[in-house]
Every structure is written in C-alpha cells, then in structure tokens.
C-alpha cells in the first residue's frame, strides 16, 4: 500500500517536473524559451505625451504646432539558462491601449510594428518603440465626440501593454509574447 502510494507520488512529481521544463511564460513579464529567458522593461513607467508640440495658446486658441510621434526605449534582456544558448529574434511589436477611465477616454486601436531584432543570449538590447504615433494624436484632437481639446487641462490616460513577439531559432520553434508595461498621459502641454 505504502509502496504504491510512494510510486504514485514519485510519478506525479516526475510528471510535474517534466511538464515545467522550458517554453513557458514565467509571469511578471518574463518569457522562458528552450535555452534562455527574456524580459522587457520600459525606460519610464509614465510617459507625459504632448498632443501638439510647439503650439502657442492665447485665450484658449492654439496657433502653430505639429503632431509628433512619441517613442520609449525598452530594454529587452535575454538571460542564458545553459552554455551555448541560442539567439532570440523579435519579429513583431504590438502596442495595446486600455483607457484608465473608459467613461471619459476614447479607445485606441492596437498599433503594430514589424521588426527582425536579434538578441544574443546574455545581452540587453535597447529597442526604441513608438508608443503614441502622430496620427493617433491627430485623431484624438479631431474626434467629433470625446475629443482632446488643445489649450485646455484635458488629458487622456492609457495603460499601455507592449508585446514583443519572440522566437528562438534552433529551439522548439514556438513564439512567445514578452510584455513591457507603462502608462501614457496625452495632453496639450504648451
């Protein structure tokens, strides 16, 4: 009886051990591949974005200015699990926006960037990522409802999830998403 329970216990432990080896997301923004783990961290946790750059406000009226794109540097790190670990390749970056206050802030569509960034094992690569493209700023100001008024105290804030789609050539062939998170507050900061 005890021998059977012992064998059952050992079998369950072995199955759990084997099923937890590699190729999973470890949580907290860490992805595990066959020979490395990967993580991504934004250089800032909150970006103060100017919806209209270099404009002048007088009596609530804006003159001049341009809509410009905002980027954030993200450190993407590959940590070796074994000697002779494999490179990672970032093939796509997806930027997802969730309004902090959905009642007063309009949604923004996901933004996609194609890339082919190679990250060697045991290294960190700084990747500049577009988090607020100029056409999104123009759209926020030009909306007929829930628009962002320039020369005002209005602002829209979003939780931003930056997903790096990553593969490990020579590994098991699967792609994983490695996230980095930040907030973006968009306002006229003239």
**Range list of β-strands (E), the chain:** 25-27, 30-32, 36-42, 46-50, 56-58, 61-63, 70-80, 88-99, 111-119, 123-132, 155-167, 175-187
SS3 28: coil
Tens-level pLDDT at each residue, the chain (190 residues): 555 555 555 444 443 333 344 444 444 568 899 999 999 999 999 999 999 999 999 988 899 999 999 999 999 999 999 999 999 999 999 999 999 999 999 999 999 999 999 999 999 999 999 999 999 999 999 999 999 999 999 999 999 999 999 999 999 989 999 999 999 999 998 7
User: 12 exposed, middle or buried (CB, 10 Å; 0-12, 13-18, 19+)?
Assistant: exposed
Distance CA 140, CA 130 (A): 17
Q: Quote the DSSP letter at residue 103.
A: T
pTM for the full model? Answer: 0.83
Q: Which long-range contacts (CB under 8 A, 24 or more apart) does 105-114 make?
A: 105/146, 105/156, 105/157, 105/158, 106/140, 106/143, 106/145, 106/146, 106/156, 108/136, 108/158, 111/136
Residue among 136, 183, 134 nearest 157 (CA): 183
Residue 53 sits at φ, ψ, to 5 deg, of -85, 135
Strand-pairing partners, residue 53, are 66
Write down all domains in the chain, each with its CATH number in brackets: 25-187 (2.60.40.10)
């Amino acid at each position: 009886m005890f021998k059977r329970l012992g064998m059952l216990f050992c079998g369950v432990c072995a199955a759990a051990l084997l099923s937890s080896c590699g190729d999973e997301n470890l949580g907290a923004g860490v992805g595990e591949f066959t020979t490395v783990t990967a993580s991504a961290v934004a250089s800032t946790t909150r970006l103060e974005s100017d919806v209209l750059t270099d404009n002048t406000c007088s009596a609530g009226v804006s003159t001049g200015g341009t809509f410009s794109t905002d980027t954030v540097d993200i450190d993407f790190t590959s940590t070796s699990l074994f000697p002779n670990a494999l490179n990672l390749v970032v093939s796509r970056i997806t930027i997802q926006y969730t309004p902090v206050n959905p009642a007063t802030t309009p949604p923004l569509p996901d933004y996609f960037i194609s890339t082919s960034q190679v990250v060697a094992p045991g290294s960190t690569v700084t990747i500049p990522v577009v988090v607020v493209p100029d056409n999104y700023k123009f759209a926020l100001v030009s909306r007929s409802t829930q628009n962002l008024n320039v020369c005002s105290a209005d602002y829209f804030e979003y939780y931003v999830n930056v997903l790096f789609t990553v593969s490990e050539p020579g590994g098991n062939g699967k792609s994983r998403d490695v996230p980095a998170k930040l907030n973006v507050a968009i306002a006229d900061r003239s």
